[in-house]
Structure 1
Amino acid sequence: MSTPHRHVRAWAPAALVLAMATSVAACGPATTGADSARDGVSASATPSTPPVRFTVTPAEASTDVRLDAPVTVAVTRGQLEQVDVTAPDGSVLQGALDAAGTTWSSTGPLSASTSYTVHAVATDTAGERVVHDTTLTTLTPVATAFPAVAPLGGSTVGVGMPVIVTLDEPVADDRRDEVERNLHVTTQPQAVEGSWSWQSDTKVEFRPREYWPAQTAVHLDLDLGNVEVAPGVWGTTRDIDFTVGSAVVSTVDLDAHTLTVTRDGEVLRTIPVTAGQTGHGGRYITRSGTKVIMSLEESRQMDAETTGVSPDDPEYYNVAVKYAMRLTNSGEFLHAAPWSVASQGSANVSHGCTGMSTQDARWMFENSKVGDVVVFTGSDRGMEDGNGFSVWNESWEEWTAGSALT
């Protein structure tokens, strides 16, 4: 009988110790999935399952994130299943997962002054799903540079029309290359060789190597939303589509006093004209060179004072003209000039414009569009850079020298 009694006395303390250990474990702090998510470690990890670790870049809970900073979510000891980076309006930042399935990188632009939620789901080596959530907030720009564009979206233009982008904030010299790198011109049905060229710290223009092919669809993508154009100043994104219509190219022979109009290589009409007179220090001589129609106005009041001619000057004029087609910033137009019909085709008597009969001017007006080319020959006075759409007066080498990427 004594042997069983000794066995009971030996077992009882061991049972008591086990019960106490269980009680202590039950009263201790519990580890939850939320705790593990905060640490970027898999909540399902066991001693035999290495924990998933998340790394979010820029650093989690960052503020003042740059708009050109790519967002990445990476995991070790696991595979990513899902990553959503979402703005308050519900829009989702575009991104892609790498081939290994361990790193997601953003491909779309970040918006300014926006708090993004980052939601990532991964699978650990045991096949358990792990969730990780955090936030990122982008910076607020000091200023925003908005790009105005010519031609207008949806318009049909001539083969000489340049693309003109004018920003309302200056671009720093060392940022021109990055700005230009994010201005994209694509064409259909065929690719067109062309180049951007900087005209100032706010204006950059694009022209093809040769005139645009007729009937070309042009798409302009101004992908400047994540480009810092100057310290603290960020761009904005725009898309523009326009069409190049028929190839209307005219030639004005200042010696012969004629305007010859061609469309797609076919001569449509030869019109007698008068152009700028000689004398007066040469200030009224019509410029030779390649000009582009900038605007069409059925009626325009022409006041010589706007070109620097005083009202007390004998050459002063202030007259309404019909069918005015602007060619230069300095005031050269094609227009109706019924008062000079006797000189049209035989003498140059104007103050620099190219005048023709009202009938011919109306026909010209109805058969022209912004961007059509008018080439002038016969005078020693040349076109100045920037005096209208003057891009065709530079050689291709001169034009491309103005690119920040060459």
Structure 2
Amino acid sequence: MKHSGPSTVLRRRTLVGALLAAAAVPAVAACQSKSGAVGTGAGASASPSPSATPATITVTPADAAVDVRPDAPVTVTVTDGTLTDVTVTAADGTPLAGALDPAGTTWTSSATLTTGTAYSVHAVAAGASGGSTTHQSTLTTLTPAETAFPAVAPLAGKEVGVGMPIIVTFDSPVADDRRAVVEQNLKVTASPNAVEGSWSWQSDSKVEFRPAQYWPAHSAVHLDVDLGAVEVSPGVWGKTRDIDFTIGSAMVSTVDIAAHTLTVTRDGELLKTIPVTLGQSGSGGQFTTRSGTKVIMSLEAARQMNSETTGIGQDDPNYYNVDVQYALRVTNSGEFLHAAPWSVASQGKANVSHGCTGMSTENAKWMFDNSKVGDVVVYTGSDRTIEPGNGFNVWNETYEQWQQGSALHA
């Protein structure tokens, strides 16, 4: 029997070792190719490099959250990576505005959500050591069980005078601690020139806006009522509206009660001086015309005036029930400028009315034809002053006094 020598055995061992080494190479390669994707969050997937720590994306509110408050922010955060793409989209395709922090690890919404709306969240992050992670989730905002509708004066599309306040009246009270956020979401802009102005609360359901001075004549005003995501009281949410109106010419009139005259100006130019009669003296001063800055509230071509609406009955010697023409209301309590043909002899000479500003039918028609809601009528010469809230009564305080009624300035 022939035996192999030492050199032959060594060659065989070397060959076997080489074959084993060659066989081991595919096994290592196969192990590396099986580095699987690691997912985080709903519908997430990742493709990290070998030995990489995958980025983890977290979204608040969590996936499939319902009854989300519209004032709740949406936040997207990542650990072990940076965000490369974040989109939050309503069901109709409208994107939700937001911004990424400088570190690229947190995205926060900058706009409020819409009530009763489903949103989808899509986020992508790059891992700190390679690979990427994708996140998909949804959320749905609450549908309010109760809302507070904001009625606005003036109405959209109207032309008004330079003294017209913006009046927002809610059909549900606004909680004291919600007044500031309500004001912050009632945004007034004027063009072509901006104005300084302030809101002032007249009650728990009414807030009014006036500029520091009269509105600039011939300007446009936009009111953005952005209250859809504002809880005005527990469980009651606001609504969103947009109102546009215009300011016409600056019609500013002055009534001198003692001199029995009405002086009318337009854009600073004198148009007409009209003889008038004002409230008679006596009767405990109940018919004295009030001094103060008043604003025309309405124009009526014809109106019935019955003293019973002011508490003067038919058995009172001061009782009246007459039809008048061309009536311009300036107070809630019943002061008007109107035609008073029965008192023409006293107009310009004596005060004989029950508090209204009476003039001839011809002059009253002229006043009616040349006036608009929001025009200013300043009354002087009486020791009886107009009461707060008696009409569009926003100009009888200094601007600083008016601001004290704002929840943002108190």
Per the shorter chain, which TM-score range? 0.7 to 0.9
Alignment of 1:264-279 (within 5 A): 264-279=267-282
Q: What's 1:45 paired with?
A: 48
For the residues of structure 1 that align with 2:82 and 2:245, how far apart are their CA atoms? 45
User: Do residues 228 (structure 1) and 231 (structure 2) align?
Assistant: yes
Amino acid at match of 2:280: Q
Kindly state the Cα deviation for residue 259 of structure 1 after the two structures are TM-superposed.
0.4
Residue of structure 2 aligned with 1:380, choices 379, 383, 406: 383
Contact 1:40 1:52 in 2 (8 A): no
Q: What's 1:286 paired with?
A: 289
SS, match of residue 38 in structure 1: coil
Q: What's 1:177 paired with?
A: 180
User: Do residues 216 (structure 1) and 219 (structure 2) align?
Assistant: yes
Q: What's 1:404 paired with?
A: 407
Contact 2:256 2:380 in 1 (8 A): yes
Q: What's 2:86 paired with?
A: 83
Supply the RMSD in Å over aligned alpha carbons. Answer: 2.9
Amino acid at match of 2:173: P
For the residues of structure 2 that align with 1:217 and 1:108, how far apart are their CA atoms? 26
User: Do residues 153 (structure 1) and 156 (structure 2) align?
Assistant: yes
Residue of structure 2 aligned with 1:119, choices 113, 119, 122: 122
Could you list the per-position Cα deviations for residues 274-293 of structure 1 after superposition, in whole angstroms to 9, with x for gaps in the alignment? 11112222222111111000
Contact 1:248 1:261 in 2 (8 A): yes
SS, match of residue 149 in structure 1: strand
Residue of structure 2 aligned with 1:323, choices 316, 321, 326: 326
For the residues of structure 2 that align with 1:223 and 1:321, how far apart are their CA atoms? 42
**Cα gap change, 1:238 to 1:39, in 2 (>3 Å):** closer
Compare 251-260 and 304-313 and name the one that shifted more.
Answer: 304-313
Alignment of 1:3-22 (within 5 A): none
SS, match of residue 335 in structure 1: strand
Per the normalisation by structure 1, the TM-score is 0.88
Residue of structure 1 aligned with 2:346, choices 335, 343, 346: 343
Kindly state the Cα deviation for residue 330 of structure 1 after the two structures are TM-superposed.
0.8
Kindly state the Cα deviation for residue 115 of structure 1 after the two structures are TM-superposed.
2.6
Q: What's 1:206 paired with?
A: 209
For the residues of structure 2 that align with 1:127 and 1:340, how far apart are their CA atoms? 94
Structure 1: state its 5+ residue gaps: none
SS, match of residue 63 in structure 1: strand
Contact 2:250 2:266 in 1 (8 A): yes
Q: What's 2:356 paired with?
A: 353
Amino acid at match of 1:221: D
Kindly state the Cα deviation for residue 41 of structure 1 after the two structures are TM-superposed.
6.2
For the residues of structure 1 that align with 2:118 and 2:49, how far apart are their CA atoms? 35
Percent identical pairs in the alignment equals: 68
Could you list the per-position Cα deviations for residues 70-95 of structure 1 after superposition, in whole angstroms to 9, with x for gaps in the alignment? 11112233343332322333333222
Amino acid at match of 1:236: K
Runs of 4 or more consecutive aligned structure 1 residues displaced over 6 Å after TM superposition: 1-4
Per the normalisation by structure 2, the TM-score is 0.87
Residue of structure 2 aligned with 1:143, choices 139, 143, 146: 146
User: Do residues 363 (structure 1) and 362 (structure 2) align?
Assistant: no
Kindly state the Cα deviation for residue 300 of structure 1 after the two structures are TM-superposed.
1.8
SS, match of residue 329 in structure 1: coil
For the residues of structure 2 that align with 1:355 and 1:201, how far apart are their CA atoms? 36
Amino acid at match of 2:305: M
SS, match of residue 311 in structure 1: coil
Compare 282-291 and 221-230 and name the one that shifted more.
Answer: 221-230
Contact 2:264 2:271 in 1 (8 A): yes
Structure 2: state its 5+ residue gaps: none
Amino acid at match of 1:75: V
Q: What's 1:391 paired with?
A: 394
